[in-house]
Structure formats: structure tokens, C-alpha cells
């Protein structure tokens, strides 16, 4: 199991989230502003706002 840090584009709140290994996560709920944040440019919120890409779309084993 992997965790990534996501920075909310609305309020800048950083939170740790588990990155799913078998599917992409297209949106999440920010703990800071309670808004639902959806991915805009990429496959998932980790690719758009996270400090690391999601493991699903990028092979998963390029550490």
C-alpha cells in the first residue's frame, strides 16, 4: 500500500491519502475546505495535485 500527499487546489490544505493500486482515483474530498476535488488534466487527483504520480497509470515500479 502506498500513500501520497495531495495539495488541495482550492485551499492549499495538504493531506495524506492512500493511492489505490488497481484503479485511478478521479476525485477526493479535501479535509480542509470539504470540497470535492476532481482531477482536471490527468487521470486522477494524484497526478494532478499529488506529490507523486499514481502507480496505476505509470507502471507502478519506477521508484
Largest Cα span, the chain = 33
- Nearer of residues 17 and 43 to Zn ion, judged by Cβ: 43
Phi-psi region of 60 (alpha: psi -120 to 50; beta: other; left: phi over 0): left
Cα 17 off chain centre by: 7
Residues in the site for Zn ion, rule: CB under 5 A? 8, 10-11, 13, 30, 32-33, 43-44, 47, 54, 57
Amino acid at each position: 500500500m502506498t500513500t501520497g500527499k495531495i495539495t488541495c487546489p482550492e485551499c492549499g490544505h495538504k493531506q495524506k491519502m492512500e493511492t489505490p493500486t488497481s484503479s485511478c482515483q478521479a476525485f477526493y474530498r479535501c479535509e480542509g475546505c470539504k470540497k470535492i476535488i476532481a482531477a482536471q488534466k490527468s487521470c486522477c487527483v494524484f497526478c494532478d495535485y499529488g506529490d507523486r504520480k499514481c502507480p496505476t497509470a505509470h507502471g507502478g515500479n519506477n521508484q
